[in-house]
Structure 1
């Protein structure tokens, strides 16, 4: 099999819809690098190097040093990135990004004999002088969706609980690739989870919007951690009703708050605030559908 290098700004739909299927069709093994990564030190022995939308001077220098050892060099674009007139009306920051990361490199790309791959017949016709290759998209999504949703819907007053949950979520998502985590939070929460894959941070919303959110199907396990503090001792157990309304099974902090309504193993799980115990309990609930449905039935009968 041949060997390809994909260079991209970050994980993105362009690569998954277009580039990966094309390389698979060509029976190419591939490695993926980000634009900000240092290029590989193996002197560039690749049959193909594909720049997805963007490139940088650092990668240009690497190509120039290793051009004799490279096969094809490719720029792939799925927007009109090479015509400044087409960028009129776009936000100035985005226009500057296009100018810096792709437009100014097109002459260099042509000078080294790079290929142009495009996503649509319109782009293929517009840039026909470059003899671009039209790449057909394929779905990166599995035939049947098996993704499950783990969620925590605490308010900003629960930031200590959110920080406590962070290592739990990281471990769970590493061990359960079919799981996504949903949380409501502000920019501080977004920054906390920025490096964790499959985390969806929702904006805060009013009560009517939140009730509509809970009515949408698709959630699997709801979390209700609670650290011991003077403020938290006055909490109620209403999260039990929210989690059950969402069609999910709850994992609750053991203690007098949730102990008022949750019977461990009957209508949810009550656990001490031990992060390892929460990781294992979440994974059991996610993986044991029969057990989860049994607990959900108990929760619905409680409400």
Structure 2
């Protein structure tokens, strides 16, 4: 089965710019096409768009018409997906555009060929991310990926892949009382989509043991369908566990902003899809004001700082780390402050510029 998945992975088309970018006019305005709002826009595009100051930025959802958009000097960013009407609009006007960039922050072929994502999600990827590529590649002038590893899955000798690393907003620090409160009642969370099925399965016995040991813990997990049912079958007291369905991105932002947590679990197991991921989970954890436990891996090593907790993917190490954070409020505060520092490191290691775009009157941003 693994060899079949590898064969499918190799056959799935990749984005490959073929249009000339060097002769394009300077950009006067920016158009972002996306399933908006979504985490990719929040993690990678929002802060960079704000930094453009006097450059107009237009956001359009996948179902929005483009008839009111002036295409002269327009640079277009496609974030992961595009639908046929917008693709036709680009085809009819591409000669007048300042450029078209495709941005991707997941190894989409790995998700499709893998065994974790649901079939409806795979169908959406095929329909809106893969199916348009033969036509879209003829228009692309730029290709951006979120990590070096992901860029390596896209690169061939004919085109360049630029790195567009996460650019988080300046974090608003939570009240220290949220971190250092007594251990009388603590909230531990695992927030991940169904694409992380293996991580859900890895955590189930660990969380069950931790909840049996620490009666002051309440656990919250986001899960749907079979994963939700399996969480509810773990034998954890229903009054001490919340199994919530996946939320739309705007609702998730509001939920994690207004309802904090004390401990956040961030496991990441080895695999083709995870190997290409960026460390954006730190942004969510900081927003909640939580102390995090991270898997020891290349993804979370990228912006690691002293005071964070990085451990191997064994039940013993995860249970020990949970014990430490449950029993020591000072250690929770150290871990939370370390994640704040890691976000600043993330900001400093990235650039506000969009790679390769020349804005009219602002020079080359590359």
Normalising to structure 1: TM-score of the pair?
0.50
Based on CA coordinates, which of the two structures has the bigger radius of gyration?
A: 1
